Amino acid sequence: MEARPGNASRHKTRERIVEVAAQLLRTQGPHAVTTRAVAQAAEMQAPTIYRFFEDKDALLDAVAEHIFAAYVAGKTLVEDSGDPVADLRAGWDMHIDFGLTNPAVFGLLTAPGRGARSPAAAAGLEVLRARVHRVAAAGRLRVTERRAIELIHAAGTGTVLALLSVPPQDRDLGLADAMYEAMMRSILTDAPTLPADSPTAVAVAFRAVAPKLPMLTSAERALLAEWLDRACDNPTRPGTSGRPD
């Protein structure tokens, strides 16, 4: 169904407002995104903006969503290399680069309560989940997928915020590499594991593929998933087999 001319015109006007506000945000920061400044840069009357956004916060939300959605779309289009661990590292590097290149947007998305309602942020987490899932299926995770996702997300956000708190000329960009390596040591095995090496890693890998096993009924898959979740959440101590002596 084609959009009516009036709707197309409204959409175009809204896009123009968001693009102009995004430019102001990138070059001058959130304080510069005022109704008067945006209206002047977009060559329109200030009341026009209020027909699309109730206040400055609503406009900033739309701008952050616009910029971050383009970034997430780019992440989604990146082809898998065939090495899930290398793809995870590439995603980490993209995340750090985005945060340092777009400090104002990153600040908006990580503000308490604001990023939680962002569809683009949710889509970005889905990309991370998919990458972690491939690592799990390859037998390389020593923790559950959920724990790995939470650790990577928290470490990535914290690393960017820590670097942004330092003047650009004083930033130690090696911090991002050091944080990634430390985190990977806590969630990855050195190589695809055998049952005797790490029962937890095997359980995590099996859990990743269990929903796709065609020979099981839905009830059987659900029961298997429950057992594996229990095994993943209650790992044996390193160096033990999980069997009684």
For residue 218, name the pLDDT band (cuts at 50, 70, 90).
confident
For residue 28, name the pLDDT band (cuts at 50, 70, 90).
confident
Residues in the chain: 245
Instruction: State CA 98 to chain mean position distance.
Output: 11
For residue 238, name the pLDDT band (cuts at 50, 70, 90).
very low
What integer pLDDT is reported at residue 77 of this predicted model? 66
For residue 209, name the pLDDT band (cuts at 50, 70, 90).
low
pLDDT at 2 over 60: no
**Residue with the larger pLDDT of the pair 195 and 206:** 206
pLDDT at 55 over 50: yes
Q: Residues near 208 by Cβ (< 8 Å), separated by ≥ 6?
A: 133, 136, 137, 145
What integer pLDDT is reported at residue 199 of this predicted model? 61
Instruction: Give yes or no for a contact between 189 and 202, defined as CB atoms under 8 angstroms apart.
Output: no
What integer pLDDT is reported at residue 182 of this predicted model? 95
**Residue with the larger pLDDT of the pair 228 and 25:** 25
Average pLDDT of the residues in 116-123: 76
Q: What would the pLDDT profile of 148-197 be if each residue is shown by its tens digit?
A: 999 999 999 999 999 999 999 999 999 999 999 999 999 998 766 544 45
For residue 86, name the pLDDT band (cuts at 50, 70, 90).
very high
DSSP code, position 239: T
Local structure of 2: helix, strand or coil = coil
Concatenate the DSSP letters of all residues of 173-226 into one string. THHHHHHHHHHHHHHB-SSSPPTTT-HHHHHHHHHHHGGG-TTS-HHHHHHHHH
What integer pLDDT is reported at residue 215 of this predicted model? 64
